[in-house]
Amino acid sequence: MKNVLSMIFGIFAIGFASAQDGLPANPKPGSCYVRCITSDEFKTVEERIMVKPEYTKLEVVPATYKTVEERVLIKEATKKMIYVAAVYETVDVPYVQKQSRTDLSITPATFSPATEVREIYPATSGWEYTSLADCKSPNPGDCQVLCYVEKPAASSTTNVQRLASAATTVNNMVPEIGATYKKQVIKTPARMDEVEIPAEYTTIKKQVIDVPASTKTITVPAEYVTITKTEIAKKGGITTYSEIDCKLVNYSALPILYDLGSAALTSKAKSIIDENLYKLMVAKPEVSVEIASHTDSRSDDTYNMSLSQRRAESVVNYLVGKGIKRSRLVAKGFGESKLKNRCANGVECTEAEHQQNRRTEFRVIDAK
């Protein structure tokens, strides 16, 4: 507990050292206090101020006019040249659409049927053994007869075709094809006709002075306005102390997520702010809060610093829109300067590790 109190007093050492009314009276052991300065109280009063004195002014009585008519020339007489276009007629012009040519046709070769006989196995002769059918001897050799046998050659007949006439070509004349096209030729040449154009007149109405202008004197009364101004009804500046939860002196996480590269608050983020921060500031109207926003190390350092500042200001602007005084809120963007892990520039990290560094936090701070 002594360590906690030492930490709190260290945070507010500068503010407490300059306070004229000392430390909180009758502090509770283990409790934390934030210094608060009461605001001035104001009242609204009205005051009537003369913004313009009484004066005399001259008012012009305008001249009066009467209307007269006058016939005027609006277009001088002239001549104009009218162009008469040439007249054409259409004629047919013959031309060769496709030239004549000589086509070649082919008379194929003709054949006549014939046959050719070829020997496919030569004539042979040799000895052959033949067994006797009615031989009674138990010795097989006694029952064989040796004969010298001749076998004629074998032949085959093949159908063939003989060339009856060779292939020839025949010249066939194809005549040319004629056609015509349409052509426009001048029947009557173009010409210029001269036409007289008479002058034109109109009657105009114009106003001439009937009675010249004059002046008259008018007295203008003074002018007053009533202004509303704010005056101090009760001087503030009295230092008081408010007991707070000790953990609020250190940064507490606001688990809100932003779209990539955006500082806009989602509806879910607003609900988290309402539940965690707005309730605290309503319950403790005397305390001030610092909103701190951080990014991961990806993207340019300067861009990350700007993005984190805009995100912190989004939270401040949202709370101001709900009625919290801007003087009670401080927005600070730290970019990637306060990483919670090793994931600095050039270090490969998981998305979960980068997420630890993309955070928005708040803490209760000393009154200014």
SS (HEC) of 279-310: HHHHHCCCCEEEEEECCCCCCCHHHHHHHHHH
End position of a domain, from candidates 171, 193, 209: 171
Bridge-partner residues for 339, per DSSP? none
What is the total count of domains within the chain? 2
Give the Cα-Cα-Cα angle 212, 216, 219 (nearest 5 degrees).
Answer: 160
Q: Write the Ramachandran bin of 275: left for phi over 0, alpha for psi from -120 to 50, otherwise beta.
A: alpha
Q: pLDDT truncated to tens, each residue of the chain (368 aa)?
A: 334 334 433 433 333 333 344 666 667 666 565 665 555 566 788 888 888 898 888 888 898 999 999 899 989 989 989 999 999 999 999 998 899 888 888 888 888 898 888 888 888 888 777 776 677 777 766 677 777 778 888 888 888 888 888 888 888 888 999 899 999 999 999 999 889 999 899 999 989 888 898 888 899 898 889 888 887 777 655 455 555 555 566 788 888 877 778 889 999 999 999 998 999 889 888 788 999 999 888 889 999 999 999 999 999 999 999 999 998 899 999 999 999 999 999 899 998 898 888 888 988 886 54
**329: its two tokens:** 């809120």
CA distance 82 to 194: 6
pTM, two decimals, is 0.40
Domain presence at residue 288: yes
CATH code (residue 333): 3.30.1330.60
CA distance 243 to 249: 11
Domain presence at residue 9: no
End position of a domain, from candidates 155, 171, 187: 171
CA distance 281 to 272: 14
Decide: 7 and 190 in contact? Cβ < 8 Å.
Answer: no
Size of the chain, expressed as the number of residues it contains: 368
> What does the pLDDT read at residue 124?
86
Domain presence at residue 143: yes
- Asked whether residue 167 falls in the same domain as residue 255, the answer is no
The boundaries of the domain holding residue 154 are 103-171
End position of a domain, from candidates 147, 171, 195: 171
